Amino acid sequence: MTSRFAPVLLLFRAAWRTSPRNVVTVLVCDPLGRVAEPLVAVGVGVAVAGVLSGSRPQQLLGVTLFVTALLLIHVLGSLGIRSRVRLEAETARTIDGWLIQAMLGLRTVDLLQDGALRERIDRIRSRERVDLTGSAFGGLVLVVGAVLQFGLTVLLLAEVSLWLALIPVLSVPALRWNGRAFSAEDHADETAGPLVDRAGVLAEHLASPAGGLTARAGGAGAGLVRRAEELWDEADRCRDRGDRSAFAWTLAGTSIISLSVAAALGWTAWAAAGGKLGLADLAMVIALTGQLGIVLGNLMQQTTRARRLMRVARDLDGVLGELQRQVAAPTAGTRQEEPRGGREPLVLSGLSYTYPGRAVSSVSAVNLEIPSGSVVAVVGENGSGKTTLVKLMAGLLTPDCGEISKGAATLTAESRRQWQQGVTALMQDFGRYELTVREGVALGDVEAAAKRPELLPAACTRAGLDQDVEKLPDGLETQTGSRWSHGIDLSGGQWQKIALARSYVRQDWWLFVMDEPSSALDVEAEARLFDRFRELTAQCRAVGGIALFVSHRLAATAQADLIVVLDDGVIAQVGTPGELRNSLGLYQELSAIQESNYDVRHPLDSAAT
């Protein structure tokens, strides 16, 4: 019962939160405007009766009713439409805000790694869906209006004759057939949706500067366009099939409605000819049956739309529910001490993690003790689980089993917030925020940056961004990003330096995570970054913090106090740089490969000797 009405309640809550005034206006104006339409016919009937009986007051009443009904239709109609359009646009924003809030409420990214859920969220957040969800509440009110209008029309006809009232009721099957038309369209949309999405990915790629370049450089553009067109054509064929089927059902529905209206008119003529119907009733019935086709058509249209809106609302309710359940998931019997720097080591025991939908664990039974005040390098081949491991330590993923603790603090669902409070991170998939450089860096700790603006230039210098900022037209105030007409697009390395500077803004950390911090940096910038590791080591020692960095560049690991070598999700080796260089194993193998690659002599040099 609750779950059935939950989506409707959700839509109402969203609309009410957005604008109670507009909700009331829509609730009052739309249905009343609809109900006023049959009253025009009543006005006609009363006025004709007044003319026939020669009663002036009755004539006046009829005309007043007629004019008032017309006024109500226009005034309430236009007020209702205005408020509904405003409400729809604003509610769409409220709902999108709720989704973003719910996603931000997740302390881990576990759920967001689930491809199926991501797809559902992306679909709801797509422009078209957001608009549809925003209009859902107004759409349901329109259905209420259409039902009331239909009900009042039937009642007024019943007032004249029960036979007459039965005729529009007979056309109710048209609504069922309309449902079939909706299902046919819906099925076509479901089939065409993934094809359109794939074509969209190709089109988006081709339209982006980077994708356009790939297409031109490789000469693959024509092939990609052809593939996108094939996908669109296939989607169009699916939709055409759906449209044909829907058209057949709709035609059947509208035919039965037309037959009903014709039957109503026929009965009226027959009854009038037989003297069973007075002139006043005749006038009202003709006016009502004239409207009947429109009333039934409107009912059909609104109920179809309502089905679509309800499906979107159910999707939204399901996704929000899933996200919120995760946020509120209780964990019993856990400690909530806040991890701090200090002397206690960070201890991982029996830690394993498997991504949703994957059969194999990305991190398996990891046991590790990391002393406080140390800089730790995590190395290994592609896909060995380095990012997964550091994300687990940062509290961004929830292990399937095992425990992470530091002193009295254990990382649990309840303590996650405090745990993350002391983490600063530069992740491999860092965000490229197209803001000013200052704003992009300040995101590292918005409050600290507002209180102590001097943190920003210092963080830029530490990240090696200062020289780039000097060359930008407005320094720190330069607008970044090619989406803005006055925006400056940055190089991959400059974006990475901004992300690095962001991680340096936070001051009160005990865990500093850098996942491939130099992947986009040039040789000089990379050398400066690792040179500055001495500062980081000193900082770690001073506060008892831990700095973790993931790197493919094994030479950089010489700076670390400890190196963790991962192989297929398990720890293959742990030791100091000296220990690992001198022991046989994966670290030595990988180092040998890298060194031999850097040692390759240029062919021209070889030829000269």
Nearer to ligand ATP, 418 or 428 (CB): 428
- Report, in Å, the least distance between residue 568 CB and ligand ATP: 9
Candidate ranges 271-279, 313-321, 341-349, 383-391; the one touching ligand ATP (CB under 6 A):
383-391
- 385 scored as a contact of ligand ATP (CB under 6 A): yes
Closer CB to ligand ATP, residue 93 or residue 358? Answer: 358
Site for ligand ATP (CB under 6 A): which residue of 7, 62, 242, 380? 380
Nearer to ligand ATP, 185 or 515 (CB): 515
Q: Give CA–CA dist 296/292, Å, rounded.
A: 6
Instruction: Give the nearer residue to ligand ATP in terms of CB position, either 14 or 348.
Output: 348
- Select from 189-197, 299-307, 354-362, 440-448 the region that touches ligand ATP (CB under 6 A): 354-362
Which lies closer to ligand ATP via its Cβ, residue 455 or residue 554?
554
**Quick check: helix, strand or coil at residue 136?**
helix
- Is 364:352 a contact under the CB 8 Å cutoff? yes
Residue number with CB closer to ligand ATP (426 or 469) = 426
Out of 22, 260, 302, 362, the residue judged to bind ligand ATP by CB under 6 A: 362
CA 519 to chain centre: 29
Instruction: Work out whether 478 is an interface residue with ligand ATP (CB under 6 A).
Output: no
Query: Which residue's CB is nearer to ligand ATP, number 22 or number 387?
Result: 387
User: Using the rule CB under 6 A, is 153 a contact of ligand ATP?
Assistant: no
Buried b (16+ CB within 10 A) or exposed e, 316-353: bbbbbeebeebeeeeeeeeeeeebbbeebbbbbeebbb
Let me know: does 87 contact 18? Beta carbons within 8 Å.
Answer: yes
425: tokens are 């991170």
From 228-236, 298-306, 382-390, 502-510, give the range in contact with ligand ATP by CB under 6 A: 382-390
348 DSSP β-pair partners = 368, 404
Please tell me the count of residues contacting ligand ATP according to CB under 6 A: 13
Q: Are 549 and 378 in contact (CB under 8 A)?
A: yes
Q: How far apart are CA 170 and CA 66, in angstroms?
A: 28
Query: Residue from 178, 326, 364, 388 that binds ligand ATP (CB under 6 A)?
Result: 388
- Closer to ligand ATP by Cβ: residue 150 or 495: 495
Cβ atoms of residues 488 and 523 within 8 Å: no
Query: Which residues between 424 and 463 bind ligand ATP (CB under 6 A)?
Result: 428
3-state helix, strand, coil in the chain (%, to 5): 70, 10, 20
* 167 closest CA partner among 156, 154, 180: 154
Asked if residue 118 binds ligand ATP (CB under 6 A), the reply is no
56 vs 358, beta carbon nearer ligand ATP = 358
Position among 383, 431, 492, 585 found at the interface with ligand ATP (CB under 6 A) = 383
- Shortest distance (Å) from residue 519 CB to ligand ATP: 9
Binding to ligand ATP by residue 382, rule CB under 6 A? yes
Nearest alpha-carbon partner for 498 in 485, 483, 480, 516 = 480
Q: Which of 470, 458, 434, 589 is nearest to 535 (CA)?
A: 458
Would you give the distance in Å from CA 151 to the centre of its chain?
39
CB 440, CB 416: distance < 8 Å: no
Q: Based on the shown chain and the rule CB under 6 A, indicate whether residue 597 belongs to the binding site for ligand ATP.
A: no
DSSP label of 479: B
Nearer to ligand ATP, 385 or 544 (CB): 385
Count Cα atoms within 13 angstroms, Cβ side, for 140: 18
State the nearest-atom distance from the C-beta of 515 to ligand ATP, in Å.
7
Residue 134 is a binding residue for ligand ATP (CB under 6 A): no
> Which residue is it, tokens 């109609």?
77
- Is residue 266 a contact residue for ligand ATP (CB under 6 A)? no
Is 139 near ligand ATP (CB under 6 A)?
Answer: no
Q: Two tokens at 497?
A: 């330096």
Find the binder of ligand ATP among 135, 387, 557, 559 (CB under 6 A). Answer: 387
Q: Does 573 bind ligand ATP (CB under 6 A)?
A: no
Question: In this structure, what DSSP letter does residue 555 have?
Answer: G
Classify strands 546-550 and 374-380 as parallel, antiparallel or unpaired. Answer: parallel
Helix spans in 362-491 (H): 386-393, 416-421, 437-442, 446-451, 455-462, 466-471
Contact flag: residue 593 with ligand ATP (CB under 6 A): no
Angle at CA 411, nearest 5°, toward 324 and 507? Answer: 95
Of 273 and 359, nearer to ligand ATP (C-beta) is 359
d(CA 124, CA 114): 16
CA-based nearest residue to 466, from 532, 422, 402, 547: 532
Cβ-contact 510, 346 below 8 angstroms? no
Should residue 386 be labelled a site residue for ligand ATP when binding is judged by CB under 6 A? yes
**Minimum separation from the CB atom of position 94 to ligand ATP (A):** 30
**Binding pattern for the stretch 481-510 against ligand ATP, x by CB under 6 A and - elsewhere:** ------------------------------
Q: Taking CB under 6 A as the rule, does residue 108 contact ligand ATP?
A: no
Q: How far apart are CA 117 and CA 5, in angstroms?
A: 23
- For residue 500, how many other CB atoms are within 10 A of its CB? 26
The contact pattern for ligand ATP, residues 25-64, with x = CB under 6 A and - = no contact, is ----------------------------------------
Q: Is the Cβ of residue 258 or residue 428 nearer to ligand ATP in the bound state? A: 428
Which of 55, 113, 191, 301 binds ligand ATP (CB under 6 A)? It is 113
CB distance 513 to 548 below 8 Å: yes
The least distance separating ligand ATP from the CB of residue 372, rounded to whole angstroms, comes to: 24
Out of 21, 276, 325, 358, the only residue in the binding site for ligand ATP (CB under 6 A) is 358
Is the CB of residue 465 less than 8 Å from the CB of residue 515?
no
The single residue among 91, 364, 384, 503 that binds ligand ATP, judged by CB under 6 A, is 384
Residues near ligand ATP, by CB under 6 A: 113, 355, 358, 362, 380, 382-388, 428
